[in-house]
Amino acid sequence: MKTIRVYDKPMCCSTGICGPSVDPVLPRFAADLEWLKSQGHDVQRFNLSQQPAEFASNELVKQTLATEGVECLPLVMVDGRIVSRRGYPSRELLALWTGGNTTASSLNVVKDSGGGCCGGSSCC
């Protein structure tokens, strides 16, 4: 199984549902990460505003931020290698990078349960 680490821009939560305008990419990507977890992969997501130490403790992330600034975020890493920057990849790309099943039926987007970004409670 693969290790996936996502380093997000500063935001109130990973789904973006609690902000003033919802970016539809964020809930989709959160569902895609849950799908990766269900496939047995080790997935962790870090938010610059809430977990800055995670950014500072990863040398590659720290170097990338130093040379490119926060514009490089989000960074997606698979097994310690940056595979994506400046945007959220599709489920198809995540499957490709993790050696997952890329048949049409395996790529169906997981429906959000409607619980919001914080399990039904306010996160802002």
Strands 81-85 and 75-78: antiparallel
Assign 10 a pLDDT band (cuts: 50, 70, 90): confident
Q: What is the mean pLDDT of residues 74-85?
A: 96
User: How high is the mean pLDDT of the chain?
Assistant: 81
Would you place residue 107 in the very low, low, confident or very high pLDDT band (cuts 50, 70, 90)?
A: very low
User: Which one, of 111, 14, 23, lies nearest residue 5 by Cα?
Assistant: 14
Who wins on pLDDT, 19 or 64? 64
pLDDT digits (tens, 9 = 90+) for 25-55: 888 999 999 999 999 999 999 999 889 999 9
Instruction: Place 15 in a pLDDT band, splitting at 50, 70 and 90.
Output: low
Long-range contacts of 90-98 (CB under 8 A, 24+ apart): 90/32, 91/32, 91/35, 94/4, 94/32, 94/35, 94/36, 97/2, 98/2, 98/4, 98/36, 98/39, 98/41
pLDDT the model gives residue 119: 38
Indicate the pTM of the whole model. Answer: 0.77
The predicted pLDDT at position 24 comes to 81
pLDDT band at 19 (very low <50, low <70, confident <90, very high): low
